[in-house]
Amino acid sequence: MASYTFKYIRSFFRRVSSKSELKRIIKIFHKEMEKGLRGEKSTLAMIPTYSIPATGREKGGFIVADMGGTNLRARKVELKGGGKIKAGNIKEKSLGVKETKGAAEDLFGTIARFIDSLVSKKDAYAPISFVFSYPVKQTAINRGVLKKWTKGIVTKGVTGNEIVGLLKNALNKIGLNNAEIVSLANDTPAALQAGRYIDSNCDVGVILGTGTNAAYIEDVKNVKKWKAPKKIKKIIINIEWGNFNKLDMGQWDKKLDNLSSNRGKQVLEKMISGMYLGEIAKIILQGIKNGWNLSGFNAKDHMTLIAKDKTMNLRYVEMVLEKFGINNTTIKDRQIVKEIVGLVAERAARFGAAAITAVITKTDPSLKRKHTISVDGAVYRNYPDFSAIIDDTIEELFGKKGKRQIKVITTKDSTSIGAAVIGAVACLIK
C-alpha cells in the first residue's frame, strides 16, 4: 500500500488549489471549450441541446420523468408564466440490479410503468419531459443517442441507441399511447432553465452532487460543428465538464482512476463529485495509516459529519473512526483526519469555482454583464462550507467585481422544474 507524508499531502493540495493554478486551469478550460464547439478532439463534448433559453413566459402542464443515478423521480409540473410554477409531489423509486445491470427492456419497462402511474387515461394527450442525466449525443429536442454510461450504470442494449425510441416502445407495450415525449434533457440544462425561468440573468446551470456537469447559453454562430435552424440565435450547450482531464493528479487520484471502470475519463468528476470524494479521502488516510481499513468511507455519511465537528476533542471524528473498528485514536490522529477531509473538499469546491468561472468568462471575459449561476446537487446543498468556498474563490479570482456581477443560487427542484421548461420551449419551437 502506498504511503504519504502529511506534509507532502498538505503542500500538494495547497499548490493545485492556488489562485495561479486555478487561472491556468481556466485558460486550458477555454481552449477545450473552443475545440469542442468546433468539433475537434476535446475532453469537453460541448453538446448542443436543441433547447433555446427560456423567457419566463412559458406555460403548460407536463409530466417530468427523471432518471439520475440509480433513482427514478416523477412529478406533474404546471408552468403558469411570469416565472410562476405549480408542482405536484415527487414520486421516487430505486432502480435495482435488474434495471442497472440487466437489459434495456428491463430498465425502460420499469420507467414506462413508473410514468403510467402519473398519466390519467382520460387525458387525450400527455406530454412528457424525460430527464436522462448521462452523456447523450442530442439529435433533436426529443431525440438523442447514449454515448456512454456513467454513475455505475451498465445496462446492456442502450449505449449507441436512441433513448426516446427505447422509452416510447416501452410505453406502447403497456398501452400508454396518449403519451408523447416532447423533450429529452440532461439534469444540467434543466438546472439552467429552472434558474432562467425565474431570473433572466441566469445563463449557467451546474450540478454538484453524486456526479457533476454544467450547461450554459452560447451564441449559435460560435457552435461551428452544428448547423442550427435559422431562427435559433442562442442555444444551451451541455458541456459534460466531468470529463475535463487537464488537471494535476496526486498519487491518490491516480490510484482511484486506476481502480475505476473508466480509467483516464471523468477526471474532474473524480475530483469534485460526491461519488468519489470519500474514496479520495479514504485512499489518502489509508496511505498515512497503513493499519486502517476504511472500506465504505463516503462523503455523505462520513466526510460531512467530520467536517461539521467543532468539538474540542473531535468527538464526531472519533465516532466515525470507531464505526470502522479504529479505536483509541489520539487527538493528533483525529486532527489529521479532519484536515485531510477538509483539503479534499476544499480542492473540490475551488476546482468547481474555477470551472464555473471559465464558463462565465468564455462568453463575457470582462464581466460586463450580470450572471446568475443556478446550482443544484447534494454536495453543493449539504456539504459544510462548500458553497461558501465557491463564492469566496470566485471573489478571489475576480475581486469585488466578481461579487457584484456573479450571483450563485440554489434552485429548488431544479431538475423537474427545468425539464418542464425545456418541454414548454420544445413545444414552442416545433
pLDDT in tens, the chain (430 residues): 467 788 999 999 999 999 999 999 999 999 999 999 999 999 999 999 999 999 999 999 999 999 977 889 999 999 999 989 999 999 999 999 999 999 999 999 999 999 998 887 677 688 999 999 888 888 889 999 999 888 779 999 999 999 999 999 999 999 888 889 999 998 999 999 999 999 999 999 999 998 999 999 999 999 999 988 888 899 999 999 999 999 999 999 999 999 998 899 999 999 999 999 999 999 999 999 988 999 999 999 999 999 999 999 999 999 999 999 999 999 999 999 999 999 999 999 999 999 999 999 999 999 999 999 999 999 999 999 999 999 999 999 999 999 899 999 998 788 899 999 999 998 876 5
E strand or H helix at 14, and its extent?
helix 6-16
Closest by Cα among 152, 128, 272 to 214: 272
The residues facing 156 across adjacent strands are: 103
Name, in order, each residue with C-beta under 8 angstroms of 146's C-beta and a sequence gap of 6 or more: 132, 134, 135, 136, 158, 159, 160, 161, 163
Res 54: pLDDT: 94
DSSP string, 126-140: EEEEEEE-S-EEEEE
Which three-class secondary structure state does DSSP give residue 78?
Answer: strand
**Residue 219, Cβ density class (10 Å: 0-12 exposed, 13-18 middle, ≥19 buried):** exposed
Residue found by looking up cell 402511474 in the block: 117
Residue found by looking up cell 465504505 in the block: 296
Q: Take residue 77 and report the three cell numbers written for it.
A: 409540473
Answer whether 203's CB lies under 8 Å from 405's CB: no
Q: How far is 335 from 337, CA to CA, in rounded Å?
A: 5
Q: How far is 353 from 18, CA to CA, in rounded Å?
A: 12
- Torsional sign, CA 85, 88, 89, 90: negative
Please state, as a whole number, how many other Cβ atoms lie within 10 Å of the Cβ of residue 292: 19
Q: How far is 138 from 349, CA to CA, in rounded Å?
A: 29
Name, in order, each residue with C-beta under 8 angstroms of 123's C-beta and a sequence gap of 6 or more: 178
Which three-class secondary structure state does DSSP give residue 234?
Answer: strand
Q: How far apart are the first and last CA of the chain?
A: 58
Res 430: pLDDT: 59
Residue found by looking up cell 507532502 in the block: 8
Alpha-carbon separation of residue 296 from 283, 309, 324, 418 (angstroms): 11, 20, 9, 34
Please state, as a whole number, how many other Cβ atoms lie within 10 Å of the Cβ of residue 303: 27
Structural domains in the chain plus CATH codes: 1-48+199-413 (3.40.367.20), 50-185 (3.30.420.40)
Alpha-carbon separation of residue 197 from 37, 65, 66, 188, 201 (angstroms): 26, 19, 19, 14, 10
Q: Take residue 113 and report the three cell numbers written for it.
A: 410503468
